[in-house]
Structure 1
């Protein structure tokens, strides 16, 4: 393996890397740095999370950039503000011995006027989220006419978050002579489309097989019911006393609820999601990096850019809607040569979702039994004993107290002293798990019934589908245009041939119906019809729409007032069709972190 100097980086950069503890380049760095230094050809690079891709594209740019020219020469786009800030900090560290080189990081949620002032002072490198970058271009505060390098970092996630329009706008503002560098942890067909549309005969390099998971991560799944999902999570935490983990949830509400449960049960936990202010997010992430938080509960979008080493576990409280996101999640552990475990908590019905993930990872999930109370108590007990055995005694601090302590405990034998000590520390675990049920028995009445996973969501039917050229991004845009409200939680989107379904926070149920009825939007010449779908146990469902009532005689929807409870018509077989069929890559999307441009501006 080469050194950074041997890769062609000048001495000030190598010196900064040595200060940071960088000794040898990673595989992606060893491949990408010489390629960018020696060629102006576009580059398409696969790099798993945690392989050092920020240095792979930023170091050669720092090497080649003209620090005497204050114009913006490199624009780096990232999907979230956390990742943008991280990249900006990294570049400042890499270039600390090149004082003329200036970087500015721009993102939503921060004062745009302050960012404009920074840009006016001059910055050779600008790092930004797509939404804020486009805003600054439109305000003519960010001029990209002299850009030599455009970096698309986490390109797959930018597409997942619906930033294609923003990418188009940025590309229009950059010269055709620029070099485009695309880095992605997974390469779904949408990212391949970016490469074909935005890049000119790109060179392709990889730090591993495309979309394949890290060899340092093992993948396990636990079978649960909705009722036992959280108790299973708790047992995973209890059987791993030194756990340092991210718990991934699908929605902001679910994220906060799980974090609250963990805190209530005595764990050092906190939540990271889109409802937090930037200051709150920064505070949570700083505590997590310092390990003051042992378990961070997060949404996919909020966890983007969270660069933390030594994670022992990634726990999927719910599997992601986009299967490629599983690779992003699991890649947060098993970094820097360490091993890690990625755990999925799934129901029997969700088991089929593992197969496409296994194909992407080229790895098999291992079915693991949920720990029993006895197993947890044994593990916690010996962890306690190991901790006592390895504790360093500071005699100078306690020697004045020892005579009194010896006198007080003089009547106890060695065995009695050990038993009492263990009981003081351990009685709470013994009591909690004394009669704990076996959560692996999914047939038991105690474990089988639970709250619906969609209890906080209302499911809507819309009379548009793939044949109308509808996809999740277009459906999101259609919903955004109705101005339902800010920070509306959106759940799964299911695109079928002639109709589709989407979920919205149940608190906005009536408002959604009102907006669609008042606005009466059309899509590609078709009048849009949106109705509530209530799925029943048999896989069918009921629908209702504002201003409609059931007409039992003709099976249609009458023109009368909407009836209150249960006065809805049973659907044809559309819900059943949904139950049998699986849609394509547009089947679902992860919960949005807000609405419209407020959602997109990370």
Structure 2
């Protein structure tokens, strides 16, 4: 006989709410924790992988035991981030929707404290909060915890990592010694042991699987990169998977914003989530991500805590976390609710040794993968497009009036010609981008630069067309390829500005590039093309074109990028992201790339 929530001792109104939410049977951690909390007042340490239902494991028994006729605050639940606090509060409201007298209030920084005070004064049985805001409300004598029966420390290790030890101490002082302390975590570093020792009395310990191990539903892969190829590898990996819906983890807020800016500029449905955003911006981004209007979310570890997304296909570690235990949190974001997932790590040869320590923690091996070639990517994208066309539902009623005119326009074209033209229409931009794409697995050709913008082996060129001419990176690459400069030409970084642009070409083809553009005399949308070599004049700090023409007004490339990044940062959350289900996505699962 299978275990049900009813058999765990939960009352009918809670079970009814769970059925409405699609909860059919409890997870392992829920089966162990719920009866333990209901039947005992012992402190509890519970360890389970991310995504196994820890929130329900501690909140359901508290809802079951809470006295709705008692106006005092009976439970305080602490979480490290606003996102996680909001998610927990919402879950408790959903679980208790048939218990209308039960009141839940969520308190956190970055929101109007006066509104939160009003809610607390109207009464609360359960309070969910971040440590900082909780302490503020205690100091204001608005949040009174002397009658608390349950204290929950969710993701306690992360609260310590974020420097909340002093806040935890102050909150603990405000609670009675008779309370039951419940500690839930996905990892078990020594800091958690310290919490248990200092804040708990002879706690019972339960686990779901082995501590800190990775989910069986997640495959772990790694790609070798250099600093120069890290971002290019990220793009190729996402391009290899047209249906990707995932999180890219970065170490810092600045890196998170920069990677997101670059992805947006390159035409991906992406956005950034980090601590520098306002609560309104964060809420807007998360709403878009839940609705899949954002396909790739670039986030810091802290900002991603509390994300309740069950169908992520990939987690990509743009950089490994500083504390390797956090890898479990990251990888646990995919492979949830019985789904399969992939956790990918981009590492340099110097960083590769850190994978061994992670393997010991997750008890799984990383599989070394080759950064995909342009041919592999184009093949995947093409067949994804064909499958999408084959499976699309045709609305005959809507299009029937247009069909006679369409048939007339296409008269004379054979089936093969129609298919070829259709594929070319949707696919030419993609093919042009990856034509003669370099092998990113040949690390020796990219060196060990620490992220410098231009390679010593590249020549930087000026071209007199830009965004106002409707130029994008893909069109510029196509224009360069059309000049037939060489079979093995490598195209480096590209900067598209308003009225002019810059691009890099392998130094070995410097003369050939100038000669080809001069001989072919190409135009772009009716405008004659002028291509010249640029070089840095260190004495003046500006850019000069060969021949001495001063282009200092163009600004340094680095400063140009900084300005773009800054503008994007301020407008990032105001700009609507186009869904990858949109009919205008060019058939590749996201907007037609403007590389």
Normalised-by-shorter TM-score class:
0.7 to 0.9
- Other-structure match for 2:270: 269
Give the C-alpha shift of residue 254 in structure 1: 0.9
Give the C-alpha shift of residue 166 in structure 1: 1.0
Matches within 5 A, 1:199-218: 199-218=200-219
Aligned residues: 453
Given that 2:228 and 2:452 are in contact with CA atoms closer than 8 Å, whether structure 1 keeps it comes out as no
Distance in 2 between the 1:196 and 1:330 partners? 28
SS of equivalent residue, structure 1 residue 443: helix
SS of equivalent residue, structure 1 residue 417: helix
- Other-structure match for 1:47: 48
- Other-structure match for 2:447: 448
SS of equivalent residue, structure 1 residue 225: coil
Distance in 2 between the 1:274 and 1:193 partners? 27
SS of equivalent residue, structure 1 residue 348: coil
Give the C-alpha shift of residue 193 in structure 1: 1.1
Distance in 1 between the 2:261 and 2:227 partners? 18
Given that 1:156 and 1:185 are in contact with CA atoms closer than 8 Å, whether structure 2 keeps it comes out as no
SS of equivalent residue, structure 1 residue 24: coil
Matches within 5 A, 1:154-233: 154-233=155-234
- Other-structure match for 2:355: 354
- Deviation per CA, 1:549-583: give whole Å up to 9, x if none: xxxxxxxxxxxxxxxxxxxxxxxxxxxxxxxxxxx
Give the C-alpha shift of residue 406 in structure 1: 1.2
- Other-structure match for 1:412: 413
Matches within 5 A, 1:89-128: 89-128=90-129
Call closer, same or farther: CA 1:257–1:135 in 2, change over 3 Å: same
Distance in 2 between the 1:454 and 1:184 partners? 41
- Other-structure match for 1:329: 330
Call closer, same or farther: CA 1:454–1:365 in 2, change over 3 Å: farther
Give the C-alpha shift of residue 450 in structure 1: 3.6
Question: Do structure 1's residue 9 and structure 2's residue 10 form an aligned pair?
Answer: yes
Give the C-alpha shift of residue 396 in structure 1: 1.1
- Other-structure match for 1:18: 19
- Deviation per CA, 1:153-192: give whole Å up to 9, x if none: 0111111111111111111111111000000000001101
Distance in 1 between the 2:448 and 2:324 partners? 27
SS of equivalent residue, structure 1 residue 6: helix
- Deviation per CA, 1:238-288: give whole Å up to 9, x if none: 000000010011111111111111111111000111111000000000000
Give the C-alpha shift of residue 292 in structure 1: 0.2
Distance in 2 between the 1:156 and 1:311 partners? 24
- Other-structure match for 1:384: 385
Task: Please identify, of 280-289 and 154-163, the stretch whose mean Cα deviation from structure 2 is larger.
Answer: 154-163
Distance in 2 between the 1:236 and 1:303 partners? 21
SS of equivalent residue, structure 2 residue 83: helix
- Other-structure match for 1:371: 372
- Other-structure match for 1:153: 154
Distance in 2 between the 1:385 and 1:200 partners? 61
- Other-structure match for 2:422: 421
Give the C-alpha shift of residue 449 in structure 1: 4.9
Distance in 2 between the 1:431 and 1:246 partners? 28
TM-score if structure 1 supplies the norm length? 0.74
SS of equivalent residue, structure 2 residue 351: helix
Give the C-alpha shift of residue 200 in structure 1: 0.8
Call closer, same or farther: CA 1:69–1:42 in 2, change over 3 Å: same
- Other-structure match for 1:506: none
Moved over 4 A (4+): none
CA RMSD in angstroms comes to: 1.3
Give the C-alpha shift of residue 114 in structure 1: 1.6
Distance in 1 between the 2:209 and 2:164 partners? 27
- Deviation per CA, 1:44-95: give whole Å up to 9, x if none: 0001111111110000001011110110010000000110010001101111
Give the C-alpha shift of residue 41 in structure 1: 0.5
- Other-structure match for 1:249: 250
- Other-structure match for 1:79: 80
- Other-structure match for 1:433: 434
- Other-structure match for 1:259: 260
